[in-house]
C-alpha cells in the first residue's frame, strides 16, 4: 500500500471529493479488475470511456477515482475523487510513484521509428550482455526479465505495466532496460513518469495512420518527436529525410549515425557476404569509433540496425571485441532469421506480412544474386483483401517461384484467401504453386531447394501459432522445419 499523497507528488490535481489521507492498494484502469482499496483511473479510449464505469468501480471497492471529467457515483460512496487535466498522463506519474520510481535505478534506452525497432533492441541487449550488463527488454514480441519471457500485447505497454516491468527488472538485478517506443505509446503518454537516458530515432515512413491511430503523417511525425523532449541523449539516423523535423524543439543533446552522410558515426566500405547456406554483411565503423564488423543478417537495413546498436552501446564503454562478437552471433526471432537446413541453399524466416515489407525483403535478397529467389507466404483472414492482391503481385514480380499457402485464416476459408492472392499473381508472369497446408508447403520448398537458392518463409516471423476459427493452435515454423528434416531422415 502507498499513501495517496505520495502517489500525487508529481501530478497537477484537484481533490473534488473525499480525503487525501488514505492508502492505495493498487492502480487499476479496467473496471472489471478493481480490488478493494484500489485507485481506478478513468481513461478515455478509442473504443470505451472509463468514466462511464466509475460507479461500478466504486461498488467493486475502489477507494480513489482519478478522473478528468464528471462521473456518476453512488450517493453514499466513501470515495476520494481526484480530478486531473489528463488521466492518461497522470496515470504514468502515479504508477511510477506506486512502484517506487524504478527507472531511476537503471539506464533506460528508448528506440522509436517505423522500422528497425525490434531488431535493434535485441542487438543492444546482446552487445550489452556480452559486456557483462544485465538487460531487461520491452518490445513488440515479448518482455524479457532475466530468464522470464512474457508475451507482448502492444509494442509499448500501458504506463502502469511499464512501471511494473521496470520494478520487476530492477528487483531482478537489471542495470539497463532497452525498449521499443511506439508513436501510439508516446501519443497516449505511456512513457511519461520517467526520463530516458537515451532516445533513438531509426527512420520514418507513412504508417499507423487511420481513425484509431494518427490522423495524418504530420501527427505521426510529431508523436515520434516527443521522445526527444523526454530523454537526456538523442541518437538519430542522419540519412533519414525527417530527422530534423522529428528532433525539432528537442531538449536533449544530439548525435547522429548514418551511411550516406557526414554523420558522427558511419558505416563505410559495405560488402555483401554469401557463404555456405548463410547471408550477411561486412562494413567498417568510422567516426566516433573505428573498427571492422561482420553481421549474420542480410541487407543494407541490417547495417543500419547494427550501426544504431553500436551508436547506443558506445555510451556504455563496450569493448570493440564484445561488439563484434555480439553482432556476429545475434539472431532476432522472425526478422530475416536464418535457419540452417543445407549448405546448398539458404532458408530464412521473416515477419513481412504486407506488400511494402515483402517488397523491401525481396529487394534485399535479390542483391545476393540467388540462383532462384523462392517466396512462401499466405495472408491473414478477416483483413483487407487488397493486402492479398498486393502481396501476390509483389511476389509474382520479384520472386522466381512463389509458394502460396495459409497464414492465420481466422474465420475465413484458407482456399478463399489463396484465391485472392492468385488474383494479384495473375497480373504478373510469376510462376507459383499453391499448397494450403503450411507444413506441406515448407516441406515442398525444402525438398525442391536448388543449389544457390534463397528461400524465404514470409508472414509468420516470430509467431508461434496459427489462428483458425478463433482458436490459436501451436505452430512455430522452426518446429515445422525440424520435424520436416527429421521425417526426411527416416
Helical H segments across 247-299, by residue range = none
What integer is the mean pLDDT of 377-387? 94
3-state secondary structure of 186: helix
Rounded Cα–Cα distance for residues 141 and 161 (Å): 15
Rounded Cα–Cα distance for residues 453 and 22 (Å): 68
Q: Given the DSSP bridges, would you call strands 39-41 and 64-67 parallel, antiparallel or unpaired?
A: parallel
Helical H segments across 226-318, by residue range = 243-246, 300-313
C-alpha closest to that of 140 among 355, 458, 478, 462: 462
Backbone angles phi, psi at 287, to 5 degrees: 100, -115
Question: What band does 47 get if pLDDT is binned at 50, 70 and 90?
Answer: confident
Average pLDDT, the chain: 94
- Return the residue matching grid coordinates 473525499: 18
In sequence order, what DSSP letters do the residues of 355-392 get, joined into one string? HHHHHHHHHHHHTT--S-EEEEE---SSS-HHHHHHHH
389 contacts: CB under 8 Å, gap ≥ 6:
420, 421, 423, 424
Which domains does the chain possess?
2-98 (3.40.1390.10), 102-329 (3.40.1190.10), 337-489 (3.90.190.20)
What integer is the mean pLDDT of 89-110? 98
Please determine, for residue 61, whether its predicted confidence score (pLDDT) is greater than 50.
yes
Please determine, for residue 455, whether its predicted confidence score (pLDDT) is greater than 60.
yes
- Return the residue matching grid coordinates 494518427: 214
Q: Is the dihedral of CA 101, 102, 105, 110 positive or negative?
A: negative
C-alpha closest to that of 237 among 118, 56, 129, 114: 114
Please determine, for residue 456, whether its predicted confidence score (pLDDT) is greater than 90.
yes
Please determine, for residue 453, whether its predicted confidence score (pLDDT) is greater than 50.
yes
Task: For 274-302, write each residue's pLDDT tens digit.
Answer: 987 889 999 999 999 999 999 999 999 99
Rounded Cα–Cα distance for residues 186 and 208 (Å): 13
Query: Given this model, what pLDDT does residue 489 score?
Result: 85
C-alpha cell at 410: 481466422
Please determine, for residue 217, whether its predicted confidence score (pLDDT) is greater than 90.
no
Which DSSP helix (H) or strand (E) runs through 468? strand 465-468
Query: Given this model, what pLDDT does residue 208 score?
Result: 45
Q: Which of 209-223, 268-282, 456-470 is the least confident region?
A: 209-223
What integer is the mean pLDDT of 393-410? 97
- Return the residue matching grid coordinates 546448398: 344
C-alpha closest to that of 61 among 41, 40, 91: 40
C-alpha cell at 360: 523491401
Query: Given this model, what pLDDT does residue 219 score?
Result: 77
C-alpha closest to that of 77 among 87, 64, 67: 64
Percent of the chain with pLDDT over 90: 88
Rounded Cα–Cα distance for residues 201 and 462 (Å): 23
Q: Is the dihedral of CA 421, 424, 427, 431 positive or negative?
A: negative
Task: For 174-185, write each residue's pLDDT tens digit.
Answer: 999 999 999 889
Query: Given this model, what pLDDT does residue 212 score?
Result: 53
Q: How many other C-beta atoms can be found within 10 angstroms of the C-beta atom of residue 157? A: 21
Q: Which residue has the higher pLDDT, 407 or 470?
A: 407
Question: What band does 330 get if pLDDT is binned at 50, 70 and 90?
Answer: confident
pTM value? Answer: 0.91
Query: Given this model, what pLDDT does residue 215 score?
Result: 60
Query: Given this model, what pLDDT does residue 303 score?
Result: 97
Q: Which residue has the higher pLDDT, 95 or 204?
A: 95
Please determine, for residue 76, whether its predicted confidence score (pLDDT) is greater than 90.
no
- Contact between 326 and 113 under an 8 Å Cβ cutoff? The reply is no
Amino acid at each position: 500500500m502507498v499513501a495517496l499523497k505520495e502517489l500525487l507528488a508529481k501530478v497537477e490535481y484537484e481533490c473534488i471529493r473525499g480525503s487525501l489521507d488514505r492508502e492505495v492498494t493498487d492502480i487499476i484502469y479496467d473496471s472489471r479488475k478493481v480490488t478493494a482499496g484500489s485507485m481506478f483511473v478513468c481513461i478515455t479510449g478509442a473504443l470505451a470511456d472509463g468514466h462511464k464505469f466509475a460507479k461500478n468501480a466504486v461498488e467493486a471497492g475502489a477507494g480513489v477515482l482519478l478522473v478528468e471529467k464528471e462521473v456518476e457515483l453512488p450517493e453514499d460512496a466513501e470515495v476520494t475523487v481526484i480530478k486531473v487535466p489528463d488521466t492518461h498522463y497522470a496515470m504514468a506519474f502515479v504508477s511510477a510513484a506506486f512502484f517506487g520510481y524504478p527507472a531511476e535505478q537503471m539506464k533506460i534506452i528508448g528506440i522509436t521509428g517505423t522500422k528497425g525497432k525490434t531488431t535493434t533492441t535485441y542487438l543492444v541487449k546482446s552487445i550489452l550482455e556480452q559486456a557483462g550488463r544485465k538487460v531487461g527488454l520491452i518490445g513488440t514480441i515479448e518482455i524479457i526479465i532475466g530468464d522470464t519471457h512474457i508475451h507482448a500485447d502492444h509494442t509499448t505497454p500501458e504506463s502502469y505495466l511499464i512501471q511494473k516491468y521496470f520494478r520487476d527488472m530492477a528487483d531482478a538485478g537489471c542495470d539497463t532496460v532497452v525498449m521499443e517506443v511506439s508513436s501510439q505509446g508516446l501519443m497516449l503518454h505511456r512513457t511519461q513518469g520517467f526520463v530516458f537516458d537515451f532516445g533513438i530515432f531509426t527512420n520514418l515512413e507513412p504508417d499507423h495512420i487511420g481513425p484509431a491511430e494518427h490522423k495524418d503523417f504530420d501527427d505521426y511525425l510529431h508523436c515520434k518527436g516527443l521522445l526527444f523532449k523526454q530523454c537526456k541523449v538523442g541518437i538519430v539516423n542522419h540519412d533519414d529525410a525527417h530527422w530534423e523535423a522529428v528532433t525539432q524543439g528537442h531538449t536533449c543533446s544530439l548525435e547522429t549515425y548514418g551511411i550516406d552522410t557526414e554523420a558522427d558515426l558511419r558505416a563505410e566500405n559495405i560488402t555483401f557476404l554469401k557463404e555456405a547456406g548463410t547471408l550477411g554483411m561486412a562494413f567498417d565503423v568510422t567516426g566516433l569509433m573505428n573498427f571492422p564488423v561482420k553481421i549474420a543478417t542480410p541487407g543494407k537495413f541490417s547495417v543500419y540496425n547494427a550501426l544504431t546498436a553500436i551508436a547506443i552501446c558506445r555510451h556504455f564503454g563496450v569493448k570493440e571485441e564484445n561488439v563484434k562478437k555480439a553482432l556476429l552471433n545475434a539472431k532476432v526471432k522472425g526478422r530475416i532469421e536464418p535457419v540452417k537446413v543445407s549448405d546448398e541453399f539458404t532458408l530464412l524466416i521473416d515477419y513481412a506480412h504486407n506488400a511494402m515489407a515483402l517488397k523491401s525483403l525481396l529487394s534485399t535478397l535479390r542483391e545476393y544474386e540467388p540462383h532462384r529467389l523462392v517466396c512462401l507466404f499466405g495472408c491473414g483472414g478477416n483483413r483487407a483483401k487488397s493486402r492479398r492482391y498486393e502481396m501476390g503481385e509483389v511476389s509474382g514480380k520479384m520472386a522466381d517461384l512463389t509458394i502460396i499457402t495459409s497464414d492465420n485464416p481466422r474465420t475465413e476459408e484458407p482456399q478463399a484467401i489463396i484465391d485472392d492472392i492468385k488474383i494479384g499473381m495473375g497480373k504478373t508472369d510469376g510462376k507459383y504453386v499453391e499448397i494450403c497446408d503450411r507444413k506441406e508447403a515448407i516441406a515442398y520448398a525444402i525438398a525442391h531447394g536448388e543449389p544457390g537458392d534463397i528461400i524465404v518463409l514470409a508472414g509468420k516471423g516470430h509467431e508461434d501459432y496459427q489462428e483458425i476459427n478463433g482458436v490459436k493452435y501451436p505452430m512455430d515454423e522452426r518446429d515445422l522445419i525440424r520435424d520436416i528434416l527429421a521425417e526426411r531422415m527416416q
